[in-house]
Chain A
């Protein structure tokens, strides 16, 4: 089975721009969770999607949004980028919803200049 894939792997943007990151889960997995990792804050939960519905969201501003498609692929979008949004963005898929065993993708490293 192919693992979780994320595209792109690296991205450089400037302040004020917006960005869309993509995550393809393991075949058959219907839950996709997104996380942000920075040196200062460590790993933080962004949101989880299950069967095209957002189940929950972490403590992030409305500039961070996401969606999930019928094939379980998910995208997250960050609008009006700030320098502090520079981070590694990880997605993880699981068969069940609710923080069960998760399989992580390699991440997208976003740099905001």
Chain B
């Protein structure tokens, strides 16, 4: 069974801090999505990666295929980054849909 585990479940930090959210996944998952969900439910896709590192603005995502581990980093965090961050694994080459982590609830305090 494909599994994705995220940590921490909850994270509160001060504005400006460097944030790291971790995701571990099982054999059979070939790529990962990082998603952001704001209150109210809307989900935005941040990254999809199967190797290496991607950067967009203050967000950086990395993946280590050998260790089956991915991280999402936020530099110079801001209160508007407060959201739930979810990692989701792609398995079966995409034929099995996405397997989701439980999410990390991030609060950035001013």
Contacts and interface: CB of A to CB of B under 8 A. Distances in A.
Interface of A: 33, 35, 37, 42-45, 47-48, 55-56, 58, 88, 90, 92, 97-104, 106-107, 109
Interface in B59-110: 86, 88, 90, 92-103
Given A43-B86, A98-B95, 7 more contacts: A33-B97, A45-B97, A45-B98, A45-B99, A47-B97, A90-B41, A101-B45
A35 B96 CA distance: 13
A92 to B, nearest CB: 8
A89 B42 CA distance: 11
Interface of B: 31, 33, 35, 40-45, 48, 86, 88, 90, 92-103
Contacts of A92: 43
Contacts of B95: 55-56, 98
Contacts, number: 61
Contact of B48 (A33, A35, A45, A101): A101
A33 B43 CA distance: 14
16 contacts: A33-B97, A35-B98, A42-B86, A42-B100, A42-B102, A43-B103, A45-B97, A45-B99, A45-B100, A47-B97, A90-B41, A100-B48, A101-B48, A104-B42, A104-B44, A104-B45
